[in-house]
Structure 1
Amino acid sequence: MRRWLDFYSPGTPKTVPIPRRPLHDFLHSAAEWSPKRTATIFYGHKFSYQRLSRYANQFAHGLHGLGIQPGDRVMIVLPNMPEFISSYYGILMIGGVVVLSNPDADVEQILLQLRQTDAKVLVTMRSFSELVRLASQEESVRQVVLVEFDKHVPDKVHQQLMSHWHIAGANKSALPKSTDEFGLLMNDLTMDAPYDAPDVPVSSEDLAAILFTSGTTDDPKGVCLSHGNLVANAIQTRHWVPDLEYGKEVFLAVVPLLHSYGMTTTMNVPITTASTIILLPVFEPKHVLEIIKEYKPTVFPGAPSIYAALAQLPEARSSGLGSIRVCISGSSPLPVEVQESFEKLTQGRLVEGYGLTEASPVTHANPLDGRRRPGSIGLPLPNTDAKIIDLATGEDLPPGQIGELLVRGPQVMRGYWQMPDESRALLEDGWLDTGDVAIMDVDGFFHVIGRTRDLIRAGEHTIYPRDVEELLYENNKVHEVAVVGVPRTAPEQKVKAFVVPRDGVELSENELIDLCRRRLEEYAVPWEIEFRDELPKSFTGKVIRRLLVE
């Protein structure tokens, strides 16, 4: 029983037809229907859809010249830039499989993932000198294709990217001008290649991408997504915003395209709608405000930390953010205070969504017509089923009872790369075990309470970190907070809160403890509050809790 269908926004279909087409067909369609439409904006440089499609076609031909065959894997390690998109779609056009490492991966992890997937080509920045040198020595790697990022961006942006990415060698000198020993410049690879698309049959059932999970709790796993998975999630997400107009929207891409959320919401969705994509490789709040004022994006997918940082800037109120109509927040829970403050600035809608790499990634979102539920991840997308099962017995639970969240739909992965046992354990009869503890209300809105492994055990009591975090956020001096159980592996834990105060305020531990004592049971009151300048986060802004307790 899909009780949530009655609460869809007007205009959002209860089901959507999923075309049985490979993903790259949508780029060709945009180039055919809107050839002069601006596809990408990158530090003042604009590519039309016709030009972007041609670049992708040329890259596909270049890969074919390197001997890449259907099913071969090609890894991309690039920031948000036009070459990421042309590489990604060019690989798909010849039946290749895109391999994306997580943005937080270091060089050792990337090299391991190259070996695990037997990738034949690595596409990366020339500035990542140590990665380029070591990857070129890998037995499976036929070629390293080099992109010259620093020629297109200000020095400050290049330096910020080098310091922010975790790739070893990024802070070392770039490769010498002669790169024959290490790799081949992308411009040299595509020079004189045909503009037309290669004639390679690709099915919607074919494997399109292997995305490695972040590894914030376990070793990274390679998630196998078909063309059908990626097309389905792009179409599902696109229809969640019923007033999107083909060829007229402008998306702001701050979330890394290397991440599943960025890949789908800021690349694949806009390409299916022939929208303009503003590509930003680093998040610098003041620069983002300038970009919004200049280019007037209409859709801004992001993470709570991104919206919170923008809302805190004094100049945000006079920066002309009114063009933004839609923001869907992912990667971590969206505090109500952040939601309300950002909506006041934009007069648009900021709603919380939910997903995981294993589902391409979006499965839930709050409706955009005002019927959202604060603290909820919202409703399952069209064509998506979700249910709550008992943590002990696995039996289906009715509304109002806490259990584990399972999802099913056309966006759910085929399995993990070369991990058949783990894939079978996670996928049963098409149902994906998310590993999240949640509850569904009588209307079909889902509320995620926390990861099963993040729950805090205090004797016979179970404490959900988000309950404590939401209470602490009610103090307007709190900028960010994360609650954990310590010791991490002990059978009985204590609650500890890590708090980042807002700039320029005085905030005491007693002030927050008193708030908790008035509103929480004694066992849920933090025994200690530690103040920090910042919390450890992944590239997409998700708090890495294990680093707080290790």
Structure 2
Amino acid sequence: MDKKADANRTSQPLRPWIDHYPEGIDWDVDIDIRPVHEQVLDACAKTPSAIALDFLGATTTFGALADAITAFAGALQSEFGVTKGTRVALLLPNTPFYPVAYYAVLRAGGTVVNCNPLYTVDELAHMADNAGADLMITLDLKMIFEKAETLVETGRIGSLIVCHFPDALPLAKKVLFSLAKRKDLVDTRRSRIAGRVAHYRQLVARKLTPEPVTIDPHTDIAVQQYTGGTTGIPKGALLTHANVAANMSQIDKWGCDLFYPPTKVVAVLPFFHIFAMTVCMNVPLCNGAQVVMLPRFELKALADLIARTRANILPTVPTLLTALARADNITSNDLSSLEVAVSGGAALPNEVREAFAKKSKALLAEGYGLTEASPVVCCAALRVPSKPMSIGLPLPATDIRFVDIDSGRVLGIGEDGELQVKGPQVMLGYYNNREATEDVFMDGWLRTGDVGHMDEDGYVFLVDRIKDMIICSGFKVYPRVIEEALAEHPAVDEVNVIGVPDQYRGEAPVAFVKLKTDEAASESEIKSFLAERLNKIEMPREIIFKQALPKTLIGKLSKKELREDYAQMKAKNREQA
């Protein structure tokens, strides 16, 4: 980066955050870009008898993890021709099979394509078509396998490798599952695609040795991670081995040895999501720390897991924190082992911070990132408190700036604009999408689409998403401002605000509200409450009460579904008029 050129474009200090880094952390550091599979195998070799994975009580040592990774990589090469550049789709929830498959694909030279098992067949078909993945690894759970089966039948995927779910369970639970939940499993021998199905257990049992693969960390793609698709068709972000490893290194340095033994990291967020892939799996395992997993979020199961394992780090999202804080049957004693909770995926409201603080003494740190940055860009300190309502400071070796949305002018301290990022964790671009790639970069900086500002100490504060911004009578209205005001109402449980077409103002805000159980409030009452907190332009045109608000898989409130629902509702009203 040309420091002189940047200094000429803005009067603010180039990196004001450096002087406010927590003690023991430096910005200008060497970043480790060794491929992640090499790092995890090194960790396995150092402490082969230590526990790497805990899945519902079934444990896997680092030595056993290395053996499985190596054997599976050998099978992928010899049986399926996986080599440098081969796309392999993982359609797996959190189980021990996921890390084995992930690292084995990378060891074989392939590229991981993460797939969400809750996606519809059409959504998975788009990803498979776009990625060109011919091989998929999945489970024999009926609800997942049948989707994979359809992808093979329609020609999107060539072959499946199927993992037998009960093999991941402790012996007693395995027997119980096989007896009581047999109907949830698929007998792949009777599948319509039985001839194109291979079995994980048999492949690993062959103990084939993989051929060496020379990786260029800067150009070879480790993960083709599809964006969430909340604002359109998902795009495949090309994350190199260096991108993935660099973000691990940055987080490791930011944590000041937090992610080393005897640490235990809770993995309730799904590994196929970029936040969990990096923070819940890659960072701790490559440092020899234990990962304790759940296949899906269940409140009691999570509390039991934390109490049983005495886990001390909880990567989380605001909705999960809210659920923990409000659960009457979960006590502070159940969460007493927690030292740090790292919240990401969505903005962390202050009321959630306060509610969680009443239930747990853990330091609650908000982080920020995006798929295109592998993903973490900024984070609050993990050892000491940070400024409230901030997403913290840029990670080591990360540069940020704020740019005026209309003019592209680089802004100064305190001025709201688009957050842009440079750093070794930033992707190469989008797969087979030159137009989108050119659009997401500006002068070599990654455009995040998020609006906010930096204060004089380098702390970053976000206001909203550019795409969510409402232009109302020529004025910029940010839904998050309205949402925060609505959240202060004692009867409001959840709220989401969108912009809708308005004949007079061009656009107008509409608020969707879920009330708390046993609470009541009218539209006029809430508008009276807001009148003291919002200006007339920010006042929602309508307040629509809902029993539940749509969310993404990681618990982020989704505006996409609300826009679709609102458009359908208005179309239906016009037809009936």
What TM-score does the superposition give when structure 1 sets the normalisation length? 0.92
Change (3 A) 1:16 1:343: farther
1:224-282 deviation line (CA, Å, top 9, x unaligned):
00110000111111222224152211000111111111111111111122111111111
Tell me if structure 2 keeps the 8 A contact 1:322–1:345. no
Task: Kindly indicate whether residue 153 of structure 2 is the aligned counterpart of residue 134 of structure 1.
Answer: no
- Does the 8 A contact of 1:100 with 1:211 survive in 2? yes
Give the Cα–Cα distance (whole angstroms) in 1 for the partners of residues 165 and 259 of structure 2: 32
Q: How many Å apart are 1:151 and its aligned residue?
A: 5.5
Conservation of the 8 A alpha-carbon contact between 1:135 and 1:144: no
Counterpart residue number, 1:443: 457
From 338, 348, 351, give the equivalent of 1:324: 338
Cross-structure match for 1:146: 162
The match for 2:16 is: 3
Structure 2: how far apart are the matches of 1:152 and 1:68? 25
Task: Indicate conservation of the 8 Å contact 1:93/1:198, yes or no.
Answer: no
Structure 1 residue 129, shift from structure 2 partner: 3.4
Which letter does structure 2 place at the counterpart of 1:134?
T
Match of 1:25 among 20, 24, 38: 38
User: Pairwise mapping of residues 367-446 of structure 1 onto structure 2 (< 5 A)?
Assistant: 367-446=381-460
**CA distance change for structure 1 residues 457 and 353 in 2, over 3 Å: closer, same or farther?**
same
Whole-angstrom distance in 1 between the partners of 2:95 and 2:75:
19
* Distance across 1 between alignment mates of 2:184 and 2:340: 40
Alpha-carbon displacement from aligned partner over 1:441-499 (angstroms, at most 9, x marks no partner): 22211222111111122213221111121122223432221112223999622222222
Give 2:401's aligned amino acid.
K
Post-superposition CA distance 1:105-145 (Å, at most 9, x none): 32122223222222131001222233232233465744210
Residues in 2 aligned to 1:148 and 1:544: alpha-carbon distance in whole angstroms: 33
Partner of 1:166 in structure 2?
none
Residue 243 of structure 2 corresponds to residue 233 of structure 1: no
1:339 aligned residue (344, 348, 353) = 353
The C-alpha deviation readout for 1:414-466, integer Å capped at 9, x for no partner, is 11001123212222443101111112222211222111111122213221111
Deviation at 1:378, TM superposition (A): 1.7
Shift of 1:503: 2.5
Is 1:305 equivalent to 2:333 in the alignment?
Answer: no
The alpha-carbon deviation at position 373 of structure 1 amounts to 2.7
Kept in 2: contact 1:323–1:346 (CA 8 A): no
Could you tell me how far apart the structure 1 residues matched to 2:322 and 2:188 are? 41
Tell me, in whole angstroms, the C-alpha distance in 1 between the residues paired with 2:82 and 2:502: 46
Q: Which residue of 1 aligns with 2:48?
A: 35
Change beyond 3 A, Cα 1:430–1:507: same
Q: Which residue of structure 2 aligns with residue 494 of structure 1?
A: 508
Fraction of identical pairs, as percent: 34
Counterpart in the other structure of 1:533: 547
Q: TM-score under structure 2 normalisation? A: 0.88
Q: What SS does structure 1 have at the residue aligned with 2:329?
A: helix
What stretches of structure 2 of length at least 5 have no aligned partner? 1-13, 565-577
Structure 2 Cα separation of the partners of residues 431 and 102 of structure 1: 29
CA distance in 1 between partners of 2:33 and 2:449 (Å): 30
**Greater Cα shift, 278-287 or 419-428:** 419-428
Match of 1:48 in 2: 61
For the aligned residue pairs, the C-alpha RMSD in angstroms reads 2.4
* Alignment partner, residue 135 of structure 2: 121
- Say whether 1:515 aligns with 2:529: yes
1:183 aligns with 2:197: yes
| Secondary structure in structure 2 of the residue aligned to 1:233 | helix
Instruction: Give the Cα separation in 2 of the matches to 1:316 and 1:76.
Output: 34
Match in the other structure for 2:7: none
Gap runs ≥5 in structure 1:
163-170
C-alpha deviations, 1:28-85, integer Å up to 9, x for none?
1211112111111111100011111111111101101121121111110100111010
More displaced 10-residue stretch of structure 1: 126-135 or 21-30: 126-135
Which of 49, 59, 67 is the matching residue for 2:81? 67
For residue 467 of structure 1, what is the aligned residue in structure 2? 481
1:204 matches 2:217 = yes
CA distance 1:35–1:129, shift in 2 (3 Å): closer
Letter of the 1:204 counterpart: P
